Amino acid sequence: MSATSRFPFAAYLFACLLGLFALGGFWYGLGKPVILPDVASATHKLQCASYTPFDKDQSPFDVPFNLRPERMDADLALLSKSFECIRTYSMTGLEALPELARKHGLKMMIGAWVNSNPVDTAKEVELLIAEANANPDVVTAVIVGNEALLRKEVTSTQLIKLIDRVKSQVKQPVTYADVWEFWQKHPEIAPSVDFVTIHLLPYWGDYPWDVEVSLSQLADVRKMFGSMFAPKEVFIGETGWPSEGRQRRIAVPSRVNEARFIRGFVAMAEQQGWHYNLIEAFDQPWKRASEGAVGGYWGLFDADRQDKGVLAGPVTNVPYWSQWLAVGGLIFIGTLLLGGRVRTTRSALVLPLLAALAACSIGAWGDLARVTTRFASEWLWVGLLTALNLLVLAHAALALSSRSGWRAQAFNVLERRAGWLVATAGFAAAVMMLELVLDPRYRSFPSVAFIVPALVYLCRPVNVPRREIALLTFIIGAGIAPQLFVEGLQNQQALGWALVSGLMVAALWRCLRVRKA
């Protein structure tokens, strides 16, 4: 074997090893466990956690409304290991809960759901009063309404009447719960309640910060309210951090950040003697329909009731990293087998590195889809983008190969349709850019879904439908600055999307300059 023929093999082997190292390092880096100080143990229970007893495929909008007592029993058995009480938000379907709480040694703060429908509200209030009076040993407080002023479903005058009615008929302390800003806007409610219940959710703030700054700001708000409504007790009715979802400014949802926030808050609250309730016991996937991915992942346990590591023990951002590594390994090997023998030393270097990049990006897209996808139409969208990535990867691998036999035939088929692959990628990127510019609050950044098409057709432009691609290029390019303006330059996810969008614009532009042979 000559030196010339050996050199591509050596380059190929080097690139393969480098690609495997990058693939393994990428997923291990994302999934590496982080050790933080524990705040819950077998001998130390926390105060309270929000609880809604839905299975992962249920929602409060289901018809018929069916909550299983066996689910509640198992949930409360689990929660009783770490908490002293639970907070509920509605009375409908929860008739069995007080007895189950008694069984597991839990106290309850029960709430009536107050909305713009006076009939529904009246039913909730009647049930609230009845349950409070029937279970004085379990129910420690009652909450008349949750963020009803925030939703603008009742007025403060209507709310005060409901609170006064409940206070006259129960012996437990009565309160109302809302975001802290709405207590500032409606201080007239304070004289009617026995204690003030505020929600402190820094991620949803107008100017969200990272975990450390958020905890400091939370402490300042709590101290301010302690003075504002003294001598009434101030109860933190909700606080927490999401484990999945899009970044807002420099507030990054992740399991590690959720654990940092919760553990930091509990330590601070217990040092200061605050009363608090954590949101929430279990992930609620149904909330993604109205709040995007971030809405479904505020739980201390996931929707399958598995511990997320938020309260104690090591915590990892990607608990399924080994599975995604295996998927990435299959994509890596499949790409190399599809490419076969390469033609040049440059191809020998590029093919394994491209395979590793695609294995990382497609796997990351799959993990993102796992938490963001809500409806059948969205799963179809995920499937189409995944198929697009695989087809583009196959096109690139065959372009780098020696292209003999069936590989030549397959390459010719993809080469003839490459323009439509580019058009499909451009269309999908344009749609997502418009969503992130016009309706960004609950949209996740899909950068990983476009890395492979952008780089492949930037490096190897193909002939495309000119008029359509020109329009898509303009939409994507024109959206980069507005989305960065909305998100801020401190948002790394937004910067990543801007970078990938810029690569896509450059790829489309280069394709526009290719003349049909």
Instruction: Using pLDDT thresholds of 50, 70 and 90, give the confidence band for residue 247.
Output: very high
Q: How many CB atoms lie within 10 A of CB 470?
A: 14
Q: What is the pLDDT of residues 308-342, one digit of tens each?
A: 999 999 999 999 999 999 999 999 999 999 999 88
Mean pLDDT (whole number) for 273-297: 95
As a whole number of angstroms, the distance between CA 390 and CA 342 comes to 19
Name the pairing type of β-strands 174-179 and 195-200: parallel
397, 351 contact by CB (below 8 A): yes
| Terminal alpha carbon distance of the chain | 39
pLDDT tens column, 443-464: 999 999 999 999 999 999 999 9
- Token pair, residue 90, equals 């509605």
Which residues lie closer than 8 Å to 303 by C-beta, 6 or more apart? 55, 56, 282, 283, 284, 285, 296
Chain segment 344-361, per-residue pLDDT in tens? 999 999 999 999 999 999
Q: Could you state, in order of their start, the residue ranges of all structural domains in the chain?
A: 3-30+319-512, 36-296
315 DSSP assignment: B
In whole angstroms, give the CA distance from residue 490 to residue 495: 8
Cα distance between residue 42 and residue 391, in whole Å:
52
Do 236 and 198 form a contact (C-beta atoms < 8 A)? Answer: yes
Burial of 123 (0-12, 13-18, 19+ CB in 10 A): middle
Q: What is the DSSP letter of 192?
A: G
Contact between residue 151 and residue 192 where contact means Cβ atoms under 8 Å apart: no
Q: What are phi and psi of 277, to 5 degrees?
A: -135, 130
pLDDT at 281 over 70: yes
Task: Count H helices and E strands in the chain, helices first.
Answer: 17, 8
Count other Cβ atoms within 10 Å, centred on residue 366.
18
Residue 231, preceding peptide bond in cis (omega within 30° of 0): yes
Mean per-residue pLDDT of the chain? 95
Q: How far is Cα 142 from Cα 172, in angstroms, rounded to an integer?
A: 7
Interacting residues of 409 by C-beta distance below 8 A, sequence separation 6+:
none
Look up residue 351 and give its two tokens.
């093919």
Query: Which H or E element spans position 486?
Result: helix 466-487
Whether residue 482 is predicted with pLDDT greater than 80 in this model: the reply is: yes
On the question of pLDDT at 1 being above 50, the answer is no
Side-chain-side CA neighbours of 500 within 13 Å: the count stands at 23
Tokens at 156, concatenated: 């403060």
Q: How far apart are CA 263 and CA 215, in angstroms?
A: 11
Q: Are 431 and 446 in contact (CB under 8 A)?
A: no
Q: How confident is the model at residue 290 (pLDDT cuts 50, 70, 90)?
A: confident
CB 192 within 8 A of CB 160: yes
The pLDDT of residue 153 is above 50: yes
Got the DSSP string for 122-146?
HHHHHHHHHHHHH-TTTEEEEEEEE
- pLDDT of residue 379 exceeding 90, the answer is yes
pLDDT of residue 517: 52
pLDDT of residue 4: 43
- Other CB atoms within 10 A of residue 306 CB: 12
Q: Which CATH architecture has domain 36-296?
A: Alpha-Beta Barrel (3.20)
Q: Is pLDDT above 50 for 3?
A: no
Which DSSP string corresponds to 248-306?
Answer: BTTB---HHHHHHHHHHHHHHHHHHT-EEEES-SB--GGGHHHH-GGGG---SB-TT--
Question: How many residues would you count in the chain?
Answer: 517
Q: CA–CA separation, 12 vs 27, rounded Å?
A: 23
* Cα dihedral sign, 325-329-330-335: positive
Tokens of 471: 């329009």
Model confidence, pTM:
0.94
Mean per-residue pLDDT, 97-112: 98
Cβ atoms of residues 49 and 300 within 8 Å: yes
- What local confidence, expressed as pLDDT, does residue 7 receive? 53
